[in-house]
Chains A and B, each alone.
Chain A
């Protein structure tokens, strides 16, 4: 399975600023996924990042607010722009791997980036 490193692991940010989260994978992967986990909540998919093309955003998420880069097959960044306290969440990077035993695609996650916006 892939090993994913995310940074920063946590940060405290001021309202109106932007922060970029980095995600590094130890193997080449086609798709990388960015999830948001609001306090006490489950995971919501923000976007899917493919290398060499624009990210695909889910309903309720837009590129201006969450620009994503995918410069190569092992790295992606998510920027949270013009932050407000409502953006305080854990942001998680994940990749999909094929599970041989089941034939299904499953997810491996980074440890997450906990952002607090004041």
Chain B
């Protein structure tokens, strides 16, 4: 069983559309991180959220941490082909223990 469930698992949309990816758990995390991984590369950190209810914006990407610090969402506005990749949420429960979500593979069609 996956401690952190992401949905959807796969998403293919047209350039210019909006999308939201969800990361859900029954556990509380001290921080929630989002990474993006492209083929042939390791995951790269996009953002870290640490406070319940926190919202962070990174250009067209908006990240939110749930009030109870158990879930998070990633919203992309006006998706572009460069947004294509594997999006991974990751939760930190204790010092040096980061657990990855099930992943969302995003494909943006030109």
Contacts of A48 in B (CB 8 A): 96
The answer to whether A106 and B45 have CB atoms under 8 Å apart is yes
The answer to whether B92 and A105 have CB atoms under 8 Å apart is yes
The answer to whether B101 and A105 have CB atoms under 8 Å apart is no
- Give the dominant DSSP class at A's interface: strand
**CB neighbors of A among B62-101 (8 A):** 88, 90, 92, 95-96, 98-101
Q: Count A-side interface residues using an 8 Å CB cutoff.
A: 26
Is A107 in contact with chain B by the CB < 8 A criterion? yes
The answer to whether A111 and B41 have CB atoms under 8 Å apart is yes
CA of A108 to CA of B50 in the docked complex: distance in angstroms? 18
The count of A-to-B residue pairs whose CB atoms sit within 8 angstroms is 62
Q: For this complex, into which size category does the number of interface residues on chain B fall? A: 20 to 34
The answer to whether A94 and B42 have CB atoms under 8 Å apart is yes
The closest CB in chain A to the CB of B2 belongs to: A42
The answer to whether B50 and A104 have CB atoms under 8 Å apart is yes
10 interchain residue pairs of minimum CB distance:
A109-B42, A104-B31, A42-B103, A102-B48, A43-B100, A42-B100, A104-B48, A102-B50, A106-B45, A42-B102
- 12 new A-B contacts, CB < 8 A, other than A104-B48, A104-B50, A104-B92, are A4-B42, A42-B88, A42-B100, A43-B100, A92-B42, A102-B49, A104-B31, A105-B98, A107-B98, A109-B42, A109-B43, A111-B40
